[in-house]
Amino acid sequence: MRVTYQGETGAYGEMAVYKFFGNKVEPVPCKDFKDVFESVKNNEVPNGVVPIENSIEGSINQNYDHFIAYNLKVCGEVAVKLAHVLITNPQTKFEDIETVYSHPQAIGQCRKYLEKHNNWETIPAYDTAGSVKIIKEKHLLNAAAIASEKAADLYNMKIVARDIADNSYNYTRFLVLSHEDAAPTGDDKTSVIFSAKHAPGSLYNALGEFATRNINLTRIESRPTKTTAWQYNFYLDFEGHRTEKRCAEALQALEKYAVFVKILGSYPRVI
């Protein structure tokens, strides 16, 4: 099976692919998150994997927006522990480091470590493993990259510092894209997007439909609609499968207080 992800070989997205699908899968790298959605939409691959939130830095907002734009389903979730290391070319000495490349999320997750070396300039890159590729291909002897130990091994680079994240509890949650969601297992989660009506009590009443049915909400996130100023879409995860009676009733009742409701899918609960 071919599964696409954003990043270079050795990226955390590739780790998510292997963790969810097993070692026999063929990971297909893409440069942008949009390319992952496009690949699945156009049936170039049956599945894609995209990050949706990090335990330290929070949401990956770009992918929330893509779920609005694309008519794809979520059929699974997987969590990957991020163990960031500082990587250089083999010839580079630690005292020669002047710049550090990495994905903005990884830079944010290592903020305290980088502040100890405030003479270093941080340069955002499109991917963690991609930042290692950059300093290798450009033969940058005064630069380092923040990525995984696997990325250092793949590119034959040197690890000069380990465990540099601010928090050891550093996980990224990935969602698995498909054209269909998953069948009920008895321990499931459902993701939806809705926009509450612009009226007093709409959001309160909308969430109350879940509370009255004893449905646990595991996440709620708001994002600007980008179509009307000061209007928001809400991204909601709750325990249960959309086909369960109480969940189906809650989703139907939600429509009374919403401008629109989009069910992203139900899938086995991991987190």
In this structure, the strands spanning 99-102 and 121-124 are parallel
Q: How confident is the model at residue 140 (pLDDT cuts 50, 70, 90)?
A: very high
Helix and strand tally (H, E) in the chain?
A: 9, 15
Mean pLDDT of the chain: 95
Band the pLDDT of 210: cuts 50, 70, 90: very high
Whole-number Å distance between alpha carbons of 254 and 259:
10
- The mean pLDDT of 108-136, rounded to a whole number, is 95
- pLDDT at position 124 over 80: yes
Residue 174 is among the residues annotated as catalytic for this protein: yes
172 is catalytic: yes
CATH class of 188-268: alpha beta
Give me the CATH topology for the region 2-81+170-178.
D-Maltodextrin-Binding Protein; domain 2 (3.40.190)
Q: Which residues face 212 on adjacent strands?
A: none
| Mean pLDDT value across residues 199-207 | 93
Please tell me the least confidently modeled range out of 93-102, 171-180, 197-206, 259-268: 197-206
Nearest to 128 by CA among 32, 11, 259: 11
Average pLDDT over residues 134-139: 97
pLDDT in tens, 70-112: 999 999 999 999 999 999 999 999 999 999 999 999 999 999 9
User: Is 248's pLDDT higher than 80?
Assistant: yes
- 57 pLDDT band, cuts 50/70/90, is confident
Topology agreement, domain 2-81+170-178 and domain 188-268:
no
Q: What contacts 24+ positions apart, CB below 8 Å, involve 55-62?
A: 55/167, 55/169, 55/170, 55/171, 55/172, 55/173, 56/108, 56/109, 56/165, 56/166, 56/167, 56/169, 56/170, 57/105, 57/108, 57/109, 59/221, 60/33, 60/105, 61/223, 62/33
Enumerate the domain spans of the chain: 2-81+170-178, 85-162, 188-268
Catalytic residue among 174, 194, 210, 238: 174
Task: State the pLDDT confidence band at 58, using cuts at 50, 70 and 90.
Answer: confident
- Beta-strand ranges (E) seen in 136-247 are 143-147, 158-162, 171-178, 188-196, 217-224, 232-239
Other beta carbons less than 10 A from residue 141's beta carbon: 15
At residue 227, the pLDDT reads 80
User: Which superfamily does 85-162 belong to?
Assistant: Periplasmic binding protein-like II (3.40.190.10)
Which among 4, 88, 92, 172 is annotated as catalytic? Answer: 172
